[in-house]
Amino acid sequence: MLNAKASLDKTSSPRGFFTEKIALHETAKAIHELIPEGFLRAQLDVRIVNPISNSDLKLFRHDESFMWLDEFSSVISCSEALRQVMYKEEAGTWFSATIVVSIEGNIDASYNYDTEPEWDFPISAECYLTDQEAFPRDDGQIPEWLKTRLAEGMTIREKNSLE
69-106 pLDDT, tens digit per residue, is: 999 999 999 999 999 999 999 999 999 999 999 999 99
Structure confidence at residue 15 as a pLDDT band (50, 70, 90): low
Residue 2 zone, left/alpha/beta (φ > 0; ψ -120 to 50; rest): beta
Residue type, 138: D
Q: Under a CB-based contact definition with an 8 Å cutoff, are residues 55 and 47 in contact? A: yes
Structure confidence at residue 5 as a pLDDT band (50, 70, 90): very low
| Predicted confidence (pLDDT) per residue in 138-157, tens digit | 999 999 999 999 999 999 99
Structure confidence at residue 63 as a pLDDT band (50, 70, 90): very high
Q: Is the pLDDT of residue 12 over 90?
A: no
Distance CA 65, CA 60 (A): 6
Residue 87 zone, left/alpha/beta (φ > 0; ψ -120 to 50; rest): beta
Structure confidence at residue 8 as a pLDDT band (50, 70, 90): very low
Q: Span 100-123, mean pLDDT?
A: 96
What's the half-sphere exposure (Cβ side, CA atoms, 13 Å) at 123? Answer: 22
Distance CA 41, CA 64 (A): 10
Q: Span 10-27, mean pLDDT?
A: 80
Q: Is the pLDDT of residue 21 over 90?
A: yes
Structure confidence at residue 2 as a pLDDT band (50, 70, 90): very low
Q: Is the pLDDT of residue 14 over 50?
A: yes
**DSSP helix/strand/coil, 78:** helix
